[in-house]
Amino acid sequence: MNRTTAFLLLVQKDEAGAVVQLQVALDRPTFDTDGQALVTPAVATADEFESAVNALQAELDEMRMQGRRLLGRQD
């Protein structure tokens, strides 16, 4: 599995165009033979695994910032 993004930010707006809901989804999910969704490539070393997890974290961090901007930092 070779992908540059694993997630997709879904934005729901009301009739006026205001953002009312955000959701994170898998972008083009890939499944193994047992039906489990895969979000990283298969890796053979600890460094490769850490790199894959760091990439996921970076992508989610970016989505968090986008979500805050879209929702006007409502917390």
Q: Which domain holds residue 50?
A: 7-71
61 in a structural domain: yes
Record the tokens describing residue 11, joined without a space: 């934005």
Strand pairing of 30-31 and 7-13?
Answer: unpaired
Residue 2 lies in a domain: no
pLDDT value of position 5? 77
Whether residue 28 is contained in a domain is answered as: yes
Cα angle 38, 41, 46; round to 5: 115
- pTM for this structure? 0.80
Residue 30 within any structural domain of the chain = yes
Residues in the chain: 75
Place of tokens 């979000």: 39
| Total count of domains within the chain | 1
pLDDT tens for each residue of the chain, 75 residues long: 444 578 999 999 999 999 999 999 999 899 999 999 999 999 999 999 999 999 999 999 999 999 999 998 655
